[in-house]
Amino acid sequence: MKNTLEIKGLKAGIGEKEILHGLNLTVPKGEVHAIMGKNGSGKSTLAKVMAGHHDYEVRGGDVLLDGESILGLAPDVRARTGLFLAFQYPSEIPGVTIANFMRAALNARRAEGEEIDAVEYYNELYQKMDLLKIDRSFTSRSVNDGFSGGEKKRNEILQMAMLGPKYAVLDETDSGLDIDALKVVSHGVNSLRGPNLGILVITHYQRLLDYIVPDVVHVMAAGRIVKSGPKELALEMEKKGYDWVETPVPA
Amino acid sequence: MSGIVAQDKPDLQIDQDQGNFSYPEDYAFDAGTGLTEKTIDYICDTKGDPDWVREFRKKALKVFQDKPLPTHWASKDLENIHFDDFRYYLSKGAKPKRSWDEVPDDVKKTFERLGIPEKERAFLAGVEAQFDSEAAYSNIKKAVAEQGVVFVGSREGLKEHPEIFRKWFGKVIPTGDNKFSALNSAVFSGGSFIYVPKGVKVKHPLQAYFRINAENFGQFERTLIIVDEGAELTYMEGCTAPKFDSVTLHSAVVELVAMKGAKLQYITVQNWSPNVFNLVTKRGLAHEEAEIKWIDCNIGSRLTMKYPGVVLKGRKSRGEVLSIALANNGQHQDTGAKMIHAADETTSNIISKSISIGSGRATYRGLVHIPRHLKGCKNNTECDALLINSESRTDTYPAIVTRGEGNSVQHEASVSKVSAEQIFYMQQRGLSEGQAMSLSVNGFVNELVRQFPMEYSVELKRLIDLEMEGSVG
Ligand SMILES: Nc1ncnc2c1ncn2[C@@H]1O[C@H](COP(=O)(O)OP(=O)(O)O)[C@@H](O)[C@H]1O
Ligand SMILES: [Mg+2]
């Protein structure tokens, strides 16, 4: 379907182990969906399988971006098609500055010889950094190298802001953030909300959803979505814990 | 016929047919294959060498024949060089058999991306013939002549400036230094001779392109640079060799002399095709308060053995080697640096960065020699290795140091890896696997490259990009 990110009966695993057991989820553009789930329920696996991580083997189902399957595409092609993943554990890239990294990423989306104009680029970068209350000196630091947990998460959202994806998956972007940083990051994400972006927020705390208020909340357990509902579901989960939804309802 | 036995290297995943082109073998001056006294006579007669050079060459031939291959410490791969099958001299290149239109598109594209000036592209692509064993010099030659700088080929140098040439030729690197310096001494041709007079500071770097342009032809340049008291020079040597079918031998000797208070910087960015044996001896002699700096970047080749050095002969002289080696699949970079401290208060600095990809192998060999009787000498050595994928291999044979009392020596080494996770992260931002690796490699060498002249850091970056793009998919 146009203007949706659809996950249909997705089965994926590593080696003998199946982690996602036929997962269904649809995120329309313009909406924010949240996935809540216990540690180990397969949330990061879902994010990485969508992004094309080579460790995971897809064993069934499909992932469609605006109606087109992306499972056959290389990770970088998926990214350029408009899928962004804010990593739970972002990698460090020693010696490569944020400024150079982002510029390379933007240029990778353009035809050869049509590199982004430097002035235009820095204007954009500084504007997005201001939005996320990131100091200008940040641009000359190596990507995530020696960053605090909070800095890494902010850097992920900065990249999301710069790359302008169609669909963004934020994997535990709240972990490691203190309350002030959480507010800044949430403000950044909220300012990107709009009719042209679908967001899937992964978390296991309800707290984040006070700041990034979702349209729909899904609960994940053992590799499946076991319950979906309005934003109030998040509060209910917080109160009752995960156990009451643990046993999946038979289809 | 090939001079080097093709070895069974299944991991050499480079398309050898791409960009190949060959030259007709009817060279006007051809010494034939193999190396005997007759070959030497042929070379001397053709070049019109003076008698002292003929004698020098013949002595060198004996040394070469007597010296064993250094396989006991270096690579056994050296045994695959069959010296009898090479042509050792070839002076007049016949017109190559293709036009610019026939140059494969990928070769053209490579030149473009490397930013090679249009005039040089035709030459490098083999469309324009050049004297095979002579170096091609840029117009800068004329400009510097006005300052009294001599910038000529080695043959012209020894004929027209014998007083300076003979004084230093073979003095920094004696014939018997190693088997390959002996080989070069026997059959050298091409290379540069430069003399910078006292106090002259040459503003623009002098530059020469060398290349191998006949299949199966070894190139034996001989470069001698003398920078007189208080003078300054930067010399840049670039090698962009196209791909050839058969394996090739390159064995140069470069001697540098920096007189009192002189500054000399020698920059090499090499990009050999993956079938070349590159066995080079490079050394500088620094007099009082003089400074010699080698910037040496080695990309490509089947085997490179190269350890630029500085003999710190005068008080307060300084020596520096900044090197980058990139060993791609099937390649072996055996590089390093030598610092021979021979006077008080001498300083040396070595920074070596190596990158090994796939089955590529990078070895660092260092020698820092500080005799016990010297005072106030300093050395700093840093060796960093970057591994891309688990097969890669890196070895460090660290500095062998003799310490005197009042001397300080510092040594640091590190090995890091580009992880699959890191590549995936970059791919998720939209960079291809090749671009991601290239960015990681550039990140690894960045700090060092910042010390290079601008144009060379740009060229190096492009070369790394090309190399990394070629190493995936
Ligand atoms: N690379 C991996 N290798 C082996 N097992 C993995 C790997 N990634 C995830 N798993 C397993 O899959 C399950 C789900 O993990 P994950 O997706 O990280 O959960 P969550 O993000 O919800 O905490 C866990 O049991 C975990 O151990
Ligand atoms: Mg997780």
Condensed to tens digits (0 to 9), the pLDDT of residues B182-216 reads: 999 999 987 889 999 999 999 877 776 543 443 33
Condensed to tens digits (0 to 9), the pLDDT of residues A111-135 reads: 888 889 999 999 999 999 999 989 9
Rounded to an integer, what distance in angstroms lies between the CA atom of residue B441 and that of residue B457?
A: 13
Q: Is B241 exposed, middle or buried (0-12, 13-18, 19+ CB in 10 A)?
A: buried
The angle at the Cα of B457, spanning B17 to B252, to the nearest 5 degrees, equals 60
Does B422 contact A93 at a Cβ distance shorter than 8 Å? yes
Q: Is A241 exposed, middle or buried (0-12, 13-18, 19+ CB in 10 A)?
A: exposed
The angle at the Cα of A13, spanning A8 to A16, to the nearest 5 degrees, equals 140
Condensed to tens digits (0 to 9), the pLDDT of residues B141-157 reads: 666 788 899 988 888 89
Q: Are A24 and A8 in contact (CB under 8 A)?
A: yes
Tokens of A140: 């000359």
Whether the CA torsion A91, A96, A99, A101 is positive or negative: it is negative
Which secondary structure element, helix H or strand E, spans residue B396, and what is its range?
strand B393-402
Q: What percent of chain B has pLDDT over 70?
A: 75
- CA B348 to chain centroid: 20
Tokens of B231: 């003078």
Residue B425 has pLDDT above 60, yes or no: yes
Q: Where are the alpha helices (DSSP H) in B215-308?
A: none
**Which residues sit opposite A32 in a β-bridge?**
A199
Least confident residue range of A3-17, A83-97, B248-262, B405-419: B405-419
Mean pLDDT of A21-29: 97
Q: What is the DSSP letter of A139?
A: G
Helices (H) and strands (E) in chain B, counts: 11, 20
Angle formed by the axes of helices B37-47 and B179-187, nearest 10°: 50
Rounded to an integer, what distance in angstroms lies between the CA atom of residue B291 and that of residue B296?
A: 16
What dihedral do alpha carbons B166, B172, B174, B175 form, nearest 10°? -70
Q: What is the pLDDT at residue B245?
A: 37
Q: Which atom of ligand 1 is nearest to the CA of A45?
A: 17
A180 CA distance to ligand 1 middle (Å)? 30
Q: Where are the alpha helices (DSSP H) in chain A?
A: 43-51, 75-81, 98-107, 118-131, 149-163, 179-192, 208-211, 232-240
Q: From B433, which residue of chain A is nearest by alpha-carbon distance?
A: A76
Instruction: Say if A109 is an interface residue toward chain B (CB within 8 Å).
Output: yes
Q: Which amino acid is at B431?
A: L
Does B429 contact A163 at a Cβ distance shorter than 8 Å? yes
- Per-residue b/e over A92-123, b at no fewer than 16 CB within 10 Å? bbbbbbbbbbbbbbbbbeeeeeeebeeeebee
Residues on B contacting A at a C-beta cutoff of 8 Å: 416, 419-422, 424-433, 435-436, 439-440, 442-447
Q: Are B439 and B426 in contact (CB under 8 A)?
A: yes
Domain borders along chain B are 10-306, 419-473
Q: What is the pLDDT at residue B250?
A: 86
Residue B442 has pLDDT above 70, yes or no: yes
Does B439 contact A75 at a Cβ distance shorter than 8 Å? no
The 3-state DSSP class for residue B291 equals: strand
The Cα of A30 is separated from the nearest Cα of chain B by a number of Å equal to 22
Cβ A39 under 6 angstroms from ligand 1: yes
Q: Which of B268, B269, B225, B275 is nearest to B250 (CA)?
A: B275
Residue A92 has pLDDT above 60, yes or no: yes
Cβ A40 under 6 angstroms from ligand 1: yes
Condensed to tens digits (0 to 9), the pLDDT of residues B329-359 reads: 889 999 999 999 999 999 999 999 999 988 8
- Residue B205: phi and psi, rounded to 5, are -65, 140
On average, the pLDDT of chain B sits at: 80
Give the model's confidence band at B247: pLDDT under 50 very low, under 70 low, under 90 confident, else very high.
very low
Pick the CATH number of A4-240 from 3.40.50.300, 3.40.50.410, 3.30.420.130, 1.10.540.10: 3.40.50.300
Tokens of B49: 């060498």
Q: Are B337 and B321 in contact (CB under 8 A)?
A: yes
Q: Are B429 and B238 in contact (CB under 8 A)?
A: no
Q: What is the pLDDT at residue A172?
A: 95
Q: Where are the alpha helices (DSSP H) in B9-84?
A: 37-47, 51-66
Residues of A in contact with B420 (CB under 8 A): 54
Rounded to an integer, what distance in angstroms lies between the CA atom of residue A6 and that of residue A234?
A: 22
Rounded to an integer, what distance in angstroms lies between the CA atom of residue B457 and that of residue B236?
A: 12
Which secondary structure element, helix H or strand E, spans residue B118, and what is its range?
helix B118-124
**Which residues sit opposite B87 in a β-bridge?**
B33, B217
Q: What percent of chain A has pLDDT over 90?
A: 82
Q: Cα separations (Å) of A119 from A122, A125, A163, B89, B406? A: 5, 10, 17, 54, 53
Q: Which of residues 154-193 of A touch B (CB under 8 A)?
A: 159, 163
Residue B326: CB atoms within 10 A of its CB come to 28
Cβ A7 under 6 angstroms from ligand 1: no
Q: Cα separations (Å) of B66 from A134, A159, B185? A: 67, 63, 14
On average, the pLDDT of chain A sits at: 93
Instruction: Say if A92 is an interface residue toward chain B (CB within 8 Å).
Output: yes
Give the model's confidence band at A247: pLDDT under 50 very low, under 70 low, under 90 confident, else very high.
low
Q: Which of B66, B51, B266, B77 is nearest to B175 (CA)?
A: B66
Q: Which amino acid is at B222?
A: R
Rounded to an integer, what distance in angstroms lies between the CA atom of residue B266 and that of residue A229?
A: 69
Domain borders along chain A are 4-240
Contacts of B185 (CB under 8 A, 6+ apart): B56, B57, B60, B63, B64, B170, B175, B253
Q: What is the pLDDT at residue B84?
A: 83
- CA B245 to chain centroid: 21
Give the model's confidence band at B110: pLDDT under 50 very low, under 70 low, under 90 confident, else very high.
low
A52 CA distance to ligand 1 middle (Å)? 15
Q: What is the pLDDT at residue B305?
A: 94
Condensed to tens digits (0 to 9), the pLDDT of residues B305-320 reads: 999 999 999 999 999 9
Rounded to an integer, what distance in angstroms lies between the CA atom of residue B101 and that of residue B108?
A: 10
The residue with tokens 């070379």 is B43
Q: What is the ipTM of this complex?
A: 0.96
Q: What is the DSSP letter of B201?
A: B
Higher per-residue pLDDT: B59 or A204: B59
Residue B8 has pLDDT above 90, yes or no: no
Contacts of A140 (CB under 8 A, 6+ apart): A97, A98, A99
Q: What is the pLDDT at residue B21?
A: 36
Which secondary structure element, helix H or strand E, spans residue B457, and what is its range?
helix B454-470
**What is the Cβ-side half-sphere exposure of residue B452, based on CA atoms within 13 angstroms?**
28
Mean pLDDT of B429-442: 94
**Most ligand 1 atoms within 8 A of CB, residue of A19, A20, A21, A172 to mutate:** A19
Q: What is the pLDDT at residue B219?
A: 78
Q: What is the DSSP letter of B84?
A: G
Q: Are A14 and A57 in contact (CB under 8 A)?
A: yes
Mean pLDDT of A81-99: 96
Rounded to an integer, what distance in angstroms lies between the CA atom of residue B428 and that of residue A79?
A: 5
Rounded to an integer, what distance in angstroms lies between the CA atom of residue B68 and that of residue B65?
A: 8
Residue B242 has pLDDT above 80, yes or no: no
Q: What is the DSSP letter of B371?
A: -
Q: Are A141 and A98 in contact (CB under 8 A)?
A: yes
Condensed to tens digits (0 to 9), the pLDDT of residues A41-60 reads: 999 999 999 999 999 999 99
Residue B158 has pLDDT above 70, yes or no: yes
Residue B111 has pLDDT above 60, yes or no: yes
Residue B240 has pLDDT above 80, yes or no: no
Q: From B445, which residue of chain A is nearest by alpha-carbon distance?
A: A95
Residue B135 has pLDDT above 90, yes or no: no
Least confident residue range of A143-157, B78-92, B121-135, B417-431: B121-135
Q: What is the pLDDT at residue B108?
A: 67
Distance from the first to the final alpha carbon of chain A: 23
Cβ A43 under 6 angstroms from ligand 1: yes
Tokens of B283: 């050394």
- CA-nearest residue, atom 8 of ligand 1: A45
Q: Are B336 and B307 in contact (CB under 8 A)?
A: yes
The residue with tokens 């690197």 is B173
